[in-house]
Structure 1
């Protein structure tokens, strides 16, 4: 398998002995180095993902292409929603709540 940037891989002992047993990891590929033709080893740069799909560390790994396989059993986190902490419940963004005095009021002694 020849990985591409963006691929999600499960890297285990089949790719390199350093990832054997409990040291296997889920890896999101960022860049791919040139393959060493006669041995099928390759440098990959990317991010180690936890079970929730959140990147925990950036790493460069040297692995055998014949031992790599895609990993599709993890959900990747969605984009975080922008919070509007000071908006009134009925504020629709058109200023109506502010015109009617329904927004959050600042206290005079607040700093």
Structure 2
């Protein structure tokens, strides 16, 4: 089976968050995540399912992070999480959407609903 690419869409604000969102939903793909990459483009994202906490150990660039519950509601937003950091554990989160650092700039807020389509 090939790599799945989806569109992450903010239904609350009616705007695309990431047009090219890779899905990491296996133990191997979740473990690798964004390691080994030099960055993400402005339209790229990584959706990690299931996930309630992340780290950026070994990463080369900062990321913006959305913690989503099972319904796709944003439970927490972290902007510009630097390399070699740990996020808090977000108990209500079921998945995480990782984006290039600086992508969000306040455009997504807690309570917004993110949908994935592809």
Structure with the bigger RCO (C-alpha within 8 Å, sep 6+) is: 2
TM-score band w.r.t. shorter chain:
under 0.3
Q: Which has the larger radius of gyration?
A: 1
Report the TM-score when normalising by structure 1. 0.24
Report the TM-score when normalising by structure 2. 0.23
